[in-house]
Structure 1
Amino acid sequence: MTMPSEPRLLPWTGPDGKPCHLITDDSDGYLSRLADYVESTQLGAATELLDRALATLDDTNTDSNDLRLLAKDLAGALRDTLRVAISRGHRLTPFE
């Protein structure tokens, strides 16, 4: 569990690919709201990509280049979704 004053894993990485964290007691601050918005956008994009993937995989005429691009897009969406899940999991309050 992450307390409000502990670092929050942000839904993006730095220029060197390393994770970014936010330390704040204000869960309604600008960066917190921006992170919430980016997480929501990433999850929405993953949902749309899943629909596209299912349609693409059902199409027997899909060529290998399209499948490779789909796999790359799915891997990126999975990476983003896992980062959101980890970040949100750290912010859960324990059951007592």
Structure 2
Amino acid sequence: MSVRPRLLPWPGATGQRCYLVSDEDSEGYLSKLADEMEAVQLQMGAELIGHARLMLGDQKTDARELRYLSNRLIEALQDTLRVAESRGGRLPVPDAAESDGPAQTDEGVG
């Protein structure tokens, strides 16, 4: 089993965070489904940016349309932040020797 649960890209029935505890290889059905969902969410966000640029450049866009756009952009940003948090949580934790930065040498010291 993995040490840290994976934050899934969808909320629970009441909006709470959902987590998956899986094997180290993360090759199970739910892991693959979550990977696919993350890819779809990121693609939809990228496409929404294109629509937003077009709408904001159109002088005929009214306030109602801009509110709708703003709500969709908020949803896309929330999805993207959840994906980033989930992926960040799955990054390997560096050991103490790696986290101290590059080794210090006497070369170049005046």
TM-score interval, smaller chain:
over 0.9
Aligned to 1:51: 50
1:46 corresponds to which letter in structure 2? G
1:20 corresponds in structure 2 to 18
Instruction: State whether structure 2 residue 61 is matched by structure 1 residue 80.
Output: no
Higher strand proportion (structure 1 or 2): 1
- TM-superposed CA distance for 1:4, in Å, is 3.1
Q: Distance in 2 between matches of 1:94 and 1:44?
A: 28
Q: Does 1:8 align with 2:15?
A: no
RMSD over equivalenced CA pairs, Å: 1.4
How far does the alpha carbon of each residue in 1:10-33 deviate from its partner, in whole angstroms, 9 at most, with x for none?
000101000000001140100000
- The amino acid that maps onto 2:40 is T
Task: Detail structure 1 runs of 4+ shifted over 3 Å in the superposition.
Answer: none
**1:71 correspondence with 2:70:** yes
| AA in 2 matched with 1:21 | Y
Consecutive unaligned residues of structure 1, counting only runs of 5 or more, are none
Distance in 1 (CA, whole Å) between partners of 2:73 and 2:2 is: 32
Identity of aligned residues (%): 52
Q: Tell me the CA shift for residue 8 of structure 1.
A: 0.3
Distance 2:55 2:48 in 1: 10
Tell which structure's C-alpha radius of gyration is larger: 2
* TM-score (normalizing by structure 1): 0.92
Give yes or no for contact 1:6–1:24 (8 Å, CA) kept in 2: no
- Which stretches in structure 2 are left out of the alignment for 5+ residues? 99-110
The residue aligned with 1:39 is 38
2:102 corresponds to which residue?
Answer: none
